[in-house]
Structure 1
Amino acid sequence: MNNPFDKIDYKFGTEGILSMYMDTYQLILGADLESYSKQKNETFNDNNPCHIYFILKRPKVTINPDSFKSRGKKVKFDFIIHHQDGYGIVHLNAEFLEAKSKLELITEYPYNLFAIMEKEKTHIFARPSTLIDSNGISDNINPDILNYEVLYIGQAYGKNGKRTAIKRLFKHETLQKIYTHSLTQNPESDIWIMLTSFSQADMLLSIGKNHINHIRNSYKRDKNLVEHFFNNKGFKISENQKINFTEAALIKYFEPTYNLDFKKNFPDKKHKSYSECYKLDIRALNIELDTSEHIRNLYSKKAGNKNNHSAMFNFENDSDRISFLDMYE
């Protein structure tokens, strides 16, 4: 980290940083999106809507019906992890203490959904692709193979924020294109959707009068920035613009294959979709995604493979202002 106090003669004495962090997320297999939309949603609601979404890819996971063996209350079966170089096998054991008679496996091709039943009673009904992410399951293959590759990042806001990501995805041309490409080019993969909501956290940094070029007379500008910050308990940015620059920053950071805009030109003063940041003269934006509570990571070729992704962007490239990006690096 570079020390901002090593330099004097800054243009301004106070700079602001805007931070957007992912506070809620939910992963859904693409094939389950329609049924998910019909359920009562306890993760997202009017007070915590999901406006930013990720389209992801990872290997298919299926159950091998020929591997199923039942003895008393215990069963054994295998999951198959499909990938370009072949497949991996995960051996599983389970015990159903309430079972009183023979346990049977119920599944049909393509074996991506199964139930273990006892006569009319269902003991488990699940997708292998979801169950394999349980902390209670240990596998005998490289766990990195089951991480999620970021293919596309998008947003849905609409008038007054009423349109959510779920509604947007039903008629999403890029999602349909990804499905088609996956079927023809990556049949061993599943498409997943990650719905997210981001929250705002802000910070001011004041460096003191000894580091300011007083000839520039920046007192009024600094005073206005500080008053705005404390009067509004942070930076007052419209919800629509927050979604716009969060999406743009995420695209710049991950550079997903199917995104075209913002890969090379964020931030840009010409983009009116986040003009409020320039109007307030906010110096920098920080974004953060923490999925460490989940057993798998997010990755892209540019961003790498990890469970905590963060990035800093300076809105202005002025050499005579404090650089949060330099401090961050």
Structure 2
Amino acid sequence: MLSDKRFDVEHALNMHAASFFYMPAAGIYDRERLEPHAELIAKCHIYLIGFVPRVNFVNAAQKDRDLVLTYEILGKSYDLVWELPPEAMLHHENGLWYVGDGTGRRFFPNEGACLQRLNHQYGVIKFLVKYIGQAYGQDGSRSALDRLIKHETLQKISLLGAPEGYRLELILLQVEPDNQIITIFNPFAENKKDGSARIDQGLEKLFNTSEEERVALYEAAMIRYFSPEFNMEYKNSFPSTTLKILQDCYDKDFSAVSAELVLDDLPVTLYSEAVTPTDMHFAFHDLHTDEARKVFFAM
């Protein structure tokens, strides 16, 4: 299988999401609520716009030593069961539910934890990706949130309205700040004389790829992968030798680029019209059509 490949050294540029911030689209103007998360948001240059089923809290009840929270999603009921600590009891006061332990302390499962459990337990919190974009600015000074505040496509999707039982949500992503290169050494390749030069090209790319380039490539790779309804650019044109964002990869004769979106604590499962729901998304793209150059994702 490797004997019909051209070069003994091939590289792929690999990028992945390092962290995220999840929020309702309507919350982009609520600066007071966003302020505690400002440091994380400032690092997020990629954004996903999509529809998620509405999660309606129905009731809380205590059954023996268990706290049972009931939710309604798309007309169906789902229960989450939490084991209560000793002495803890459920209370309802002034329209609010809380758990007290007899010492004056009050607590209750937070929304993020409940969403995550609902999705992991029942698989019902699915995020339909409708648009992917990025913002960077000068030296990374512009975050995804800065872009979304005056975003025509977000406004368009909002005006068109969400399907019944759904609401418009946002995921802001931080792309891993460190460069990653995947390299294959193939002793059976046709050309073994250029190995040293090709290793040098990989090292140069490893140490000199800018954050701005990583963000742009991550966006393009994910757009091609998800093929969201409202994206136009990159859906059918990535990868291509004519794209400026790929010029350095082609100059250094890279074989492929890949973008990963795997976040264990993301409370939703991503999908699109082109991609089935899953918790792990890998956007692999060969940069060459020649079969002799496809060594990473076509094997």
TM-score range, shorter chain: 0.7 to 0.9
Structure 1 residues 324 and 116 mapped into 2: Cα distance closer, same or farther (>3 Å)? same
Q: Which residue of 2 aligns with 1:203?
A: 182
Which residue number in structure 2 is paired with residue 251 of structure 1? 223
Secondary structure, in 3 states, of the residue corresponding to 1:316? coil
| Shift, 1:77, TM fit | 5.7
8 Å CA contact 1:147, 1:299 repeated in 2: yes
Q: Distance in 2 between matches of 1:309 and 1:299?
A: 9
Aligned with 1:282 (options 254, 273, 276) = 254
Task: Tell me, yes or no, if the aligned pair for 1:298 and 1:307 is still in contact at 8 Å.
Answer: yes
1:22 aligns to what? 17
* TM-score scaled by length of structure 2: 0.81
Q: Which residue identity is paired with 1:38?
A: E
8 Å contact kept, 1:105–1:117 = no
What is the rounded CA distance, in whole Å, between the counterparts of 2:40 and 2:153 in structure 1? 25
Q: CA RMSD in A?
A: 3.5
Q: Which residue of 1 aligns with 2:161?
A: 182
Q: Any residues of structure 2 matched to 1:80-91 within 5 Å, and which?
A: 80-81=72-73, 83=74, 87-91=75-79
Q: Equivalent of 2:197, from 221, 224, 240?
A: 224
Write the letter of the residue equivalent to 2:93.
Answer: E
- SS of 2:40's partner is coil
Query: Which residue is 1:264 aligned to?
Result: 236
Partner of 2:271: 299
How far apart, CA to CA, are the structure 2 residues paired with 1:287 and 1:77? Answer: 37
Larger Rg: 1
Paired residue for 1:104, among 76, 84, 93? Answer: 93
1:1-329 equivalences under 5 Å are 3-5=1-3, 7=4, 10=6, 12-33=7-28, 34-35=30-31, 36-41=33-38, 43=40, 49-64=43-58, 67=59, 78-81=70-73, 83=74, 87-91=75-79, 103-104=92-93, 106=95, 116=98, 123=106, 130-135=112-117, 143-183=122-162, 186-199=163-176, 200-208=179-187, 211-213=189-191, 219=194, 222-230=195-203, 232=204, 234=206, 236-294=208-266, 296-327=268-299
The answer on whether the counterparts of 1:242 and 1:274 sit within 8 Å (CA) in structure 2 is no
Distance 2:255 2:63 in 1: 65
Gaps of 5+ in 2: none
Give the structure 2 partner of residue 109 of structure 1. none
How far apart, in 2, do the equivalents of 1:259 and 1:274 lie? Answer: 19
2-structure distance, mates of 1:193, 1:326: 33
Secondary structure of 1:145 counterpart: coil
